[in-house]
Chains A and B, each alone.
Chain A
Amino acid sequence: MKKSKLSLVLLLVSLVSVGLFANGTGETETEGTGTAAAATDANAVTLNILDYSDATAPGYEKTKAVWQKFDDENPGIVLKKEDLTNEAFHQKMAAYVAAGTIPDVMYMYPSGRSAVLHEKHLVKDLAPLLGPDFLSHFLPSVTDPTDQTSGYLAELPQSICYSSVMYVNTKLLKDNGLAVPTTYAELRAMVPRLKAKGIQTVLMANKDDWVMQSCLFSTIAGRFVDKQWVNDAKQGKVKFTDPQFVKALDFVKQLYDDGVISKSTLQLAYGEAPGLFASGKAAILIDGDWKQSSFVTDQTTGQALISPEDQKNNIELKAFPAIPGEKYPGVVSSTLGCGYGISAAIPAGSAKEKAAVELLKYIYSEPVQKHYLERGRYITSRIGVTSDKLDPLTLKMMDYYSTIKNTSYVFDSALDPSVYTVMNKVLQEIGLGTKTPQQAAQEIQAAMDAYLASK
């Protein structure tokens, strides 16, 4: 009896030990990628990578193959890749920063959530590492470091994000004897005719408070104040209560008062808008450029919310029409996209630095960027990358980009969270009619004053 109990305890201990240490100490295998040759090569350089990886992103599975290819072609480099998304990514990065052990290569933002990497100069300047020849293949606006918090090229943006696009259902307009509006007066004039048929003029998912700020207000404000004005506001030199900024808030109120945007949109959740627009419940959808991925063909099922034929014939992408009294016509809000940076802790000129640069040049190479473009990840900032496999809407989005001559800040990329969250809230309150534009401006300025005082 005693012997059998002893055997049981020994068996349990063995099981725990095997379980604990089979994947435990001293493990050197690469995750997801990795070749046996590299793993056993004593001179192999190991790169720790923290990547932002959303399993629901288009072409997620194929992304693994992209990294695997680099691994196969570079036996001297071992990739130890960690894939996280959303808050899991940000929490882990915060822990790495706190411990002073940031990864060798990491996915990062040009500002905002990656501000600490920029402000503490924890990542290298990529300009000298990648070189002018390589960077000449990218749009000048993404290699311009002024929009990055660090003031240097801490990450190379993979794309430019235009946060305001009017998706116009031209067939629906034509059926009702209407045309794509070019001025606000034309847009407002459409309301009664569409309303009579139970069709919304402009659809926005305003239940999520960031949508109005990011997808429309940043553009409206950009028509009244320029980037320098916003920079001055961030330093307290001008105020959000100044008349030119209040005009932008007044216009938001007018949109609701005129019925161009229905108050019912304040109850519409972000995921609900594409289905309503695709089913003809609204003539125009205002959202970011990323929303096109909801309409194009899903590569897993071959289905599309808007068929490629309809995308080609019945959908147009336009900037918001001319606003009465606007000072900067045609401006659309945009922000630099995310990209990869290299840890400043890697010694200059070391084999590890060379390996990291090699990896970045591969990720930003034409074949890889084309691969991502074809899978609907983003419209790349690399010049001349296109494909004949794209849905018509993606091609139209590329055309839309080329029509934008001037851009404004997206406030949630330009301002501190303590300020833009207040802006988000008061924009909803203007829609609800519980705050006047003047009161909203005062509240935003109060948040900015508090932020400046805390610095």
Chain B
Amino acid sequence: MKSNYRQEKGIGAALWRFFAYLIMIIFALLAIVPLVWLVISSFKTTVDFQADMLGLPKHFYPLNYPQAWRIGDFGILFGNSVFYTVFSVGIATFLSLLSGFGFSKLARKSSKPIYSLFVLGILLTTQTLMVPIFLQVTQLDTLIGGGLAKIGLCNVNQFHLFYDTKFGVLLVYIGSLLPIGVYLCTEFEKSIPTSLVEAALLDGAGYLQIFIYVFIPMCVPIIVTLGLLNIPTIWNEFALINIMVSKLSLQSLPLGIYKFSGTLASDYGKEFAALVIGLLPMLIFYLIFRKQITKSVASGAIKG
């Protein structure tokens, strides 16, 4: 009787495990197969692709890659993407930590409404901000340029401080990352005992010293989480950079890749090669940090 029960339990567990693995394999294939198909298709000529969309390449055509790289000016765009991602994520993370320190440990009456304003930013979508941001940056340029032109320092039409400059893009990107950054940092820093601040104050440390030498080392988990959340966001960002710059020398990778999406006819070989070029850095990023990404998603879920 007992052995029967064990046997039944064993069969049940094996069946359960079989179905669990089956479902996981199906979902894994759903994610991986399109990527494999994309990479295979990127080595086909457009004619080969149209003749057989699913098969292996009849003519192995690696030239799609150098051609897509050259046509898309990816050399320039790649560098710009790295620049925007590194500096906007770095600066936004630092400012978020600083704000979190202020809101959690140096709270005043005015802190709550200011904090609420930051958190409100989480609800705003990029699409709703596009035109207002464009209006702001162009009008600010006109305003400042007009003032400088009056004293003969520049031509108003040629003055750009916010529109069509890396400075302007960084400013907008940092601003877009702050709401979620400030929220997460404040909540995280609230969990750090206030007695640490008081002890450091008694030891004669200033607030800046406390922030740099006590808080930042303790905030490494939230710094990693913010980095993992924000790096793909900025790397893949398309809508804001599209309206913030017009010069090729300031554009980023997503804009370059988007140029390969034809409406009525497509050069599929180069289009797929461009997509792989854009995908690779994030794929490498994921492979390196997959454990941390899983952890940060889980911690985000718990916080939510």
Binding site for B on A (CB under 8 A): 16, 19-29, 31-32, 48, 50, 53-58, 60-61, 80, 82-86, 88, 91-92, 94-95, 98-99, 101, 271-272, 274-275, 278-279, 288, 290-291, 293-294, 298, 300-301, 303-305
> What are 24 pairs between A and B in contact, CB < 8 Å?
A16-B87, A20-B167, A20-B170, A21-B167, A23-B165, A25-B161, A27-B160, A27-B165, A29-B249, A31-B247, A31-B248, A31-B249, A54-B261, A56-B271, A57-B262, A57-B265, A82-B247, A95-B134, A99-B131, A101-B138, A298-B45, A301-B45, A301-B47, A303-B47
B248 touches A26 (CB 8 A): no
CB pair A274–B50 under 8 Å, yes or no, is yes
Chain B residues whose C-beta falls within 8 Å of the C-beta of A26 in the assembled complex: 154, 158-160
| Complex alpha-carbon distance, A27 and B104, angstroms | 43
Residues of B within 8 A of A301 (CB): 45-47, 59, 61, 269
The reply to whether A54 and B47 contact each other, CB–CB distance below 8 Å, is: no
A375 to chain B, nearest CB (A): 12
Contact: B135 with A99, CB < 8 Å? Answer: yes
Known: A55-B270, A305-B47. A98 touches B87 (CB 8 A): no
The CA of A326 and the CA of B19, in the complex, are separated in Å by 60
Q: A27-B160, A54-B259, A55-B259 in contact; A278/B51 too (CB < 8 A)? A: yes
Chain A hits for B36, CB < 8 A: none
The CA-CA distance from A298 to B265 in the complex, in Å, is: 12
A25 in contact with B45 given A291-B265, A305-B51 (CB within 8 Å): no
Which one of B111-119, B173-181, B238-246 is at the interface?
Answer: B238-246
Q: Residues 59-71 of chain B: 1 if any A CB is under 8 Å from the residue's CB, otherwise 0?
A: 1010100010011
- The smallest beta-carbon distance between B79 and chain A, in angstroms, is 9
**Mask of B17-56 contacts with A, CB within 8 angstroms, 1/0:** 0000000000000000000000000000111101111000
Distance A333 CA – B147 CA, assembled complex (angstroms): 54
Min CB gap B21→A, angstroms:
31
Interface contact A32-B248, CB-CB below 8 Å = yes
- CB <8 Å contact, A88 and B242: yes
The answer, yes or no, to whether B191 is at the interface (CB within 8 Å) is no
A contact residues around B47 at 8 Å (CB):
298, 301, 303-305
Distance of A60 Cα from B72 Cα, bound (Å): 11
CA distance A304 to B47 in the complex (A): 6
The CA-CA distance from A94 to B131 in the complex, in Å, is: 8
| Contact between B259 and A95, CB atoms less than 8 A apart | no
- Cα A60 to Cα B242 with chains together (Å): 21
- Give the 4 A-B residue pairs with the shortest CB-CB distance, closest first: A56-B267, A24-B165, A55-B259, A303-B47
Interface centre among B50, B51, B59 (most CB of A within 10 A): B50
B259 A85 Cβ-Cβ under 8 A? yes
> What residue in chain A is nearest B263 (Cβ atoms)?
A86
Whole-angstrom distance between the Cβ of B215 and the nearest chain A Cβ? 18
Q: Using a CB-CB cutoff of 8 Å, which residues 97-155 of chain B contact chain A? A: 130-131, 134-135, 138-139, 154
Q: Is the CB of A98 within 8 A of B135?
A: yes
Other 18 A-B pairs with CB < 8 A, given A25-B167, A305-B47: A20-B165, A20-B167, A23-B166, A23-B249, A26-B159, A27-B160, A48-B246, A55-B260, A61-B71, A80-B246, A86-B258, A86-B261, A92-B246, A95-B130, A95-B134, A275-B53, A288-B264, A305-B51
Which residues of chain B have C-beta atoms less than 8 A from A303's C-beta? 45-48, 59
Q: Given A20-B167, A23-B166, A26-B154, answer yes or no on A91-B72 (Cβ-Cβ < 8 Å).
A: no
Set of chain A residues within 8 Å of B235, measured between Cβ atoms:
none
Q: Does B194 contact A (CB under 8 A)?
A: no
When distances are taken between beta carbons in the complex, the residues of chain A under 8 Å from B67 are 300
Question: Contact: A88 with B260, CB < 8 Å?
Answer: no
Chain A contacts for B63, CB-based, 8 A: 300
Q: Considering residues B63, B71, B159, B271, which has the most beta carbons from chain A within 10 angstroms of its beta carbon?
A: B71
Please pick, from B87, B165, B243, B261, the residue contacting A56 in the complex, using a CB distance under 8 A: B261
Tally of A-B Cβ pairs under 8 angstroms: 158
| Residue numbers in B under 8 Å from A31 (CB-CB) | 246-249
Q: Is A55 touching B72 in the complex (CB atoms < 8 A)?
A: yes
In the complex, A126 Cα to B270 Cα: how many Å? 37
* Contact residues on B (Cβ < 8 Å of other chain), bracket: 35 or more
Complex partner residue of B262 from A32, A54, A98, CB under 8 angstroms: A54
Residues of A within 8 A of B268 (CB): 56, 271
A243 to chain B, nearest CB (A): 34
Residues of B within 8 A of A294 (CB): 50, 265
Q: Tell whether, in the assembled complex, residue B243 and residue A91 are in contact, meaning their CB atoms are under 8 Å apart.
A: yes
Q: Give the interface SS of chain A, mostly helix, strand, loop or mixed.
A: mixed
Partner of A28, one of B46, B131, B158, B250: B158
CB of A310 to closest CB in B, whole Å = 13
| A23, B164: Cα distance in complex, Å | 9
**Which residues of B are found within 8 Å of A88, using beta-carbon distances?**
238, 242, 255, 258
Report the minimal beta-carbon distance from B83 to chain A, rounded to whole angstroms.
Answer: 6
CA distance A115 to B275 in the complex (A): 32
Residues of chain B contacted by A95 (CB below 8 angstroms): 130-131, 134, 243
Q: Name A275's contact: one of B50, B130, B261, B267 (CB within 8 Å).
A: B50
In chain B, positions 220-249 with a C-beta closer than 8 Å to chain A are 238-239, 242-243, 246-249
CB-nearest residue of chain A to B83: A19
A31 to B63, CA, bound (A): 26
Is A91 in contact with B130, judged by CB distance below 8 angstroms?
yes
Most-contacted residue by chain A among B47, B61, B165 (CB, 10 A): B47
Kindly report which residue of chain A lies nearest to residue B72, judged by CB atoms. Answer: A55
B266 at the interface (CB under 8 A from A): yes
- How many angstroms between the C-alpha atoms of A23 and B268 in the bound complex? 33
- CA–CA, A56 and B50, complex, Å: 15
Q: Which residues in B have their C-beta under 8 angstroms from that of A99?
A: 131, 134-135, 138-139
- B265: nearest chain-A partner, CB-CB: A293
Q: Is the Cβ of B262 less than 8 Å from the Cβ of A56?
A: yes
How distant is A292 from chain B, measured CB to nearest CB, in Å?
Answer: 9
Does B260 lie within 8 Å of A56, measured CB to CB?
yes
Q: Which residues of the other chain, B, contact A22 by a CB distance below 8 angstroms?
A: 166
Smallest Cβ distance from A282 to chain B, in angstroms? Answer: 14
B114 to chain A, nearest CB (A): 27
Contact assessment for B51 and A279 in the assembled complex, using a CB-CB cutoff below 8 Å? yes
Q: B259, A83: Cβ atoms under 8 Å?
A: yes
B4 CB, nearest partner CB in chain A, Å: 51
Contact: B166 with A20, CB < 8 Å? yes
Q: Within the assembled complex, what's the spacing in Å between the Cα atoms of A20 and B164?
A: 11
Residues 273-288 of chain B, each 1 if its beta carbon lies under 8 Å from chain A, else 0: 0100000000000000
Task: Give min CB distance, B226 to chain A, whole Å.
Answer: 19
Q: Hey, which chain B residues are within 8 Å of A271, CB to CB?
A: 50, 53, 266, 268
Given A31-B248, A56-B270, A290-B264, also A19-B131 (CB < 8 A) = no
What is the distance, in angstroms, from B239's C-beta to the closest C-beta of chain A?
Answer: 7
CA–CA, A272 and B261, complex, Å: 16
Which partner residue on chain B sits nearest A15 by CB separation? Answer: B87
CA–CA, A361 and B158, complex, Å: 27
